[in-house]
């Protein structure tokens, strides 16, 4: 998994969207290059969070929203090819598996390519591994990649293709929860030894 690389030594804060007091002022200027993701954080995120449909987590530097992700519980029909390439994690013969879905993942355009996406994804991995999976079991974390740029990013974070859609660059991608946990716990052990 990617460690975040190039980002500056800015103070990054990651917290739940519902902790924001002034949502409109902070979210309004958010532009990630994909209108669907811009519109979601501006219009739908708070509503869906309050209706318990999704949970959105945001990343900020000072008072500037620089990224966010939204997750929810779901299920996924795993392709045989995906299961064959992940036999260490998927030994059961089920076709449909419980999953945690990343429904939205975005980094503000001016911060893209600087490691902030990796930082946010690693935070998502830790939330899923440490906070959620002890109480809600899900063997896979999935995401719909909307273009080639995001597909390349997700692959750098350990995701692999489950299904390629007919649109150019559109993929359903997944990563085994146990794979994420192994990496997170190994990093935690390394930190304790330092």
For residue 57, tell me if it sits in a domain.
yes
For residue 150, tell me if it sits in a domain.
yes
For residue 4, tell me if it sits in a domain.
no
pLDDT at 119: 95
For residue 166, tell me if it sits in a domain.
yes
pLDDT at 120: 97
3-state secondary structure 109-132: HHHCCCCHHHHHHHHHHHHHHHHH
Residue 23: how many other CB atoms lie within 10 Å: 16
Structure tokens at 180: 């994420």
For residue 7, tell me if it sits in a domain.
no
Q: How many domains does the chain have?
A: 1
Mean pLDDT by 10 residues, the chain (194 residues): 54 78 68 94 89 93 92 89 83 86 96 96 92 88 91 94 68 91 80 76
Which residue range(s) make up the domain with 116?
Answer: 12-193
Q: Counting runs of H as helices and runs of E as strands, what totals does the chain give?
A: 7, 7
Q: What is the domain-level CATH number for residue 83?
A: 3.40.630.30
Element (H, E) at 27: helix 23-27
Which pTM value belongs to this model? 0.85
Cross-strand partners of 140: 99, 176
pLDDT at 116: 97
For residue 138, tell me if it sits in a domain.
yes
For residue 103, tell me if it sits in a domain.
yes
């Amino acid at each position: 998994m990617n460690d975040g690389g190039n980002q500056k030594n800015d103070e990054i804060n990651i917290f739940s969207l519902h902790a924001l007091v002034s949502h409109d002022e902070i979210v309004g200027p958010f532009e990630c290059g994909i209108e669907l993701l811009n519109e979601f954080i501006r219009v739908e995120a708070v509503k869906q969070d309050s209706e318990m449909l999704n949970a959105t987590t945001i990343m900020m530097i000072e008072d500037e929203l620089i990224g966010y992700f939204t997750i929810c519980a779901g299920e996924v029909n795993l392709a045989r090819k995906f299961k064959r390439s992940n036999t260490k994690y998927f030994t059961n013969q089920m076709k449909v598996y419980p999953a945690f879905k990343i429904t939205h993942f975005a980094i503000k355009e001016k911060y893209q390519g600087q490691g902030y996406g990796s930082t946010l994804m690693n935070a998502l991995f830790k939330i899923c591994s440490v906070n959620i999976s002890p109480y809600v079991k899900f063997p896979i974390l999935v995401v719909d990649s909307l273009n080639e740029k995001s597909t390349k990013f997700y692959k750098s974070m350990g995701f692999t293709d489950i299904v390629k859609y007919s649109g150019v660059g559109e993929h359903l991608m997944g990563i085994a929860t146990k794979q994420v946990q192994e990496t997170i716990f190994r990093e935690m052990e390394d930190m304790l030894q330092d």
